[in-house]
Amino acid sequence: MANLSSASHAAQDSELWQSLKNAIAASSGYQSWRAEQLKAITTTISDEQLVRLYLRDTLETLAY
């Protein structure tokens, strides 16, 4: 039963992360930030990696 419960939580976490990622990707702040990043980045980077970088940059800014 514990495995089913933890699998259920993992699925909920995954759905929550996907929803959060989509909301962030649709925001104007992210879109502006993404455009600047893509100018500076010369390698291929996934949308997931970009969202994670955006969150890291945003949280670092808020920490100041």
Residue 8 structure tokens: 């259920």
- Determine the pLDDT at residue 22: 93
Residue 6 structure tokens: 């933890």
- Determine the pLDDT at residue 4: 65
pLDDT surpassing 60 at residue 38? yes
pTM metric for this prediction:
0.60
Q: Which residues span the domain enclosing 8?
A: 2-63
Quote the crossing angle between the two packed helices 28-40 and 47-63, to the nearest 10°. 110
DSSP assigned state of 27: S
Q: In whole angstroms, what is the distance from residue 3 CA to residue 53 CA?
A: 32
Percent of the chain with pLDDT over 70: 92
> How many structural domains does the chain have?
1
